[in-house]
A and B are shown apart, each in its own frame.
Chain A
Amino acid sequence: MVISGIRLPLMTSLIVWAVIWEIAGHTDAGFILPPLSSIIWRVFEIVPTPSFLDALLITGRAFLFGNAIAIGIGVPLGILMGRSVIADRLLLPWVNLFLSAPLSALVPVIMVLFGLGETTIVLTVVLFSMWIIVLNTRAGIRAISPSLIEMARSFGASRWQAFSRIYVWAALPEILAGIRLGMIRAVKGVVIGQLLVSVVGFGTLFEIYQSHFLMEHFWALLLVLFSFAFTLNELLAGLERRFAYYAASR
């Protein structure tokens, strides 16, 4: 961005908002919105504590397991739906339903079924992230150029060869985009799951901070989670761009 001849660096807008936040924090609003500087100090204070690291470990584990399951089920399911009309007719309404449904409302159901433990958090992550992976994979498979499939067949590809050497690769940009969107939803899933269960991971910490009205701690935790989600998105988007040339030449 260029304002009156001066080229501004990319992060300028962030700095502007940080300054506004800092000023707001020193007014009466500091009651619920403490100044950014003190929140950042608090980040450094709480991150090394055992309770934070413990919560991070539990959250990270649930996040990874949940995503692994969502990808492991979502990608094959999406390929199946992209290939088979019957499977598509049968499953698409459900996938669309779950994609748009307020999933938080389902978390208590999982809680009843699987208890107040890590299993529930993992399943919440799966519930949040899987559907967009399914839909994107399906779209990617359906967009594969028919001549690429004919090419593989004409050179004698078996079903497995066509799947592993053509379908997966040709749909890779869409699959990656689905995984990225799924992971962002998974961050929501893991946090919402923990908040609702509230005796596991960051849920416990949020519960403690809120009940003791430790707003600086509360915001510090949010800041950590937000930056985690943002970094994750950027990393995955970067990975996606590396495969961007597919789209042009497909």
Chain B
Amino acid sequence: MTPNVTDATAQRMSEFAPPFLATRPIVEVKSVSKTYPGGIEALSGISLDFPEGRLTTLLGPSGCGKTTLLKIIAGLIPASGGQVFVDGREVKGPGPERAFVFQDFALMPWASVIRNVAFGLELRGVAHSEREAIAERHIARVGLKGFEKKYPHELSGGMRQRVGLARALAVDAKVVLMDEPFSAVDEQTRRKFQEELLELVANEGKSFIFVTHSIEEAVYVSDRIALLSRRPSRVSAVIEPKISRDGDPDKIRRDSAYLDVVEEIWQQLKHYLD
């Protein structure tokens, strides 16, 4: 697929789905590119806005640089070109206004659940009793009350990711960055997580940036989806699924708007299979 075709597609898509989220962008990505040592071009001039208080998904085929972009926003890896602004300030490295949820959970196996959850606060020098109180609240928030003293190896994959989520929530960052957080858990847990994520977005007042390769997952949880093309990655489309998320979460999966958007994205991504 040539870049020209991608651009044309992008245009068609934006006509089809004009941005309706009027909130200000909390994260702005401005013509960010990334070339790895050895000349592999992962990202090529990506520009994207992430609306405040919403969940925006980076969706694309495996190895398209979604995670690279997320880590650049997190300040974990430097961009080769362009800038990222979070809350109006340029990203130079990791910062307290961003928290990261890892695909492989990244829990400390030698530390209990409560210490893992409080780790971000521990690094910031929050007093022991205070950070434990905050951690306890977030452990309860993610449904792990009673597991405070357990160790990661005593928990299931889904529970471990809850710990990872609680840790990210505990530092009270404005932006939560999630790198394929549900890809290492089983399907039932995954669906449950997706429902809980919707509730989190609605109630926490935080902005979420979510990376996934699952179209269904992206459409189910997102207010805005940025479709990334194959490497070197560009934004091939921005889609805003207009799905009513009130009421029964199971209804969404049968909602015709939901199914239409899934189909529409599938038609887009199909090209990359060849």
Contacts and interface: CB of A to CB of B under 8 A. Distances in A.
Interface of A: 145, 147-148, 150-158, 161, 165-166, 169-170, 172, 243, 245-246, 248-250
Given A161-B123, A245-B153, A154 B110 contact: no
Contact of B94 (A155, A245, A248): A155
A151 B152 contact: no
Contact of B76 (A154, A158, A246): A154
B119 A148 contact: no
B151 A155 contact: no
B106 A151 contact: yes
Contacts of A151: 100, 102, 106, 119
Given A155-B99, A156-B123, A156-B124, A147 B108 contact: no
19 contacts: A147-B102, A147-B104, A148-B106, A150-B71, A150-B76, A150-B106, A151-B100, A153-B76, A154-B74, A155-B119, A155-B120, A156-B94, A156-B124, A165-B122, A169-B108, A170-B110, A245-B109, A249-B109, A250-B109
Given A155-B94, A249-B152, A148 B108 contact: yes
Contacts of B63: none
Given A153-B76, A153-B94, A169 B99 contact: no
Contacts of A250: 109
A145 B71 CA distance: 16
Contact of A157 (B100, B123, B152): B123
- Interface residues of A: mostly helix, strand, loop or mixed? helix
A76 to B, nearest CB: 20
Contacts of A243: 110
A229 B100 CA distance: 47
B103 interface: yes
A232 B48 CA distance: 61
Contacts of A145: 104, 106
A155 B123 CA distance: 7
9 smallest A-B Cβ distances: which pairs?
A249-B153, A151-B106, A155-B120, A154-B100, A249-B109, A147-B106, A154-B94, A245-B153, A169-B110
A147 B102 CA distance: 7
B54 interface: no
A131 B119 CA distance: 34
Contacts of B152: 249
Contacts of A152: 123
A245 B111 CA distance: 12
B151 A245 contact: yes
A155 B153 contact: no
Given A148-B108, A166-B108, A249-B153, A154 B99 contact: yes
B102 A150 contact: yes
A246 B109 contact: yes
A147 B96 contact: no
A147 B123 contact: no
A220 to B, nearest CB: 43
Contacts of A155: 94, 99-100, 119-120, 123, 167, 171
A230 to B, nearest CB: 29
Given A150-B106, A243-B110, 16 more contacts: A145-B106, A147-B103, A147-B106, A151-B100, A151-B102, A151-B119, A153-B76, A154-B74, A155-B119, A155-B167, A156-B123, A156-B124, A157-B123, A165-B122, A245-B153, A246-B110
A78 B111 CA distance: 23
B143 interface: no
A150 B151 CA distance: 20
Q: Which of A158, A245, A249 has the most chain B CB atoms closer than 10 A to its own CB?
A: A249
Q: Which of B75, B103, B110 has the most chain A CB atoms closer than 10 A to its own CB?
A: B110
A248 B106 contact: no
A48 to B, nearest CB: 43
Contacts of A154: 74-76, 94, 98-100
A15 B215 CA distance: 67
A161 B98 CA distance: 19
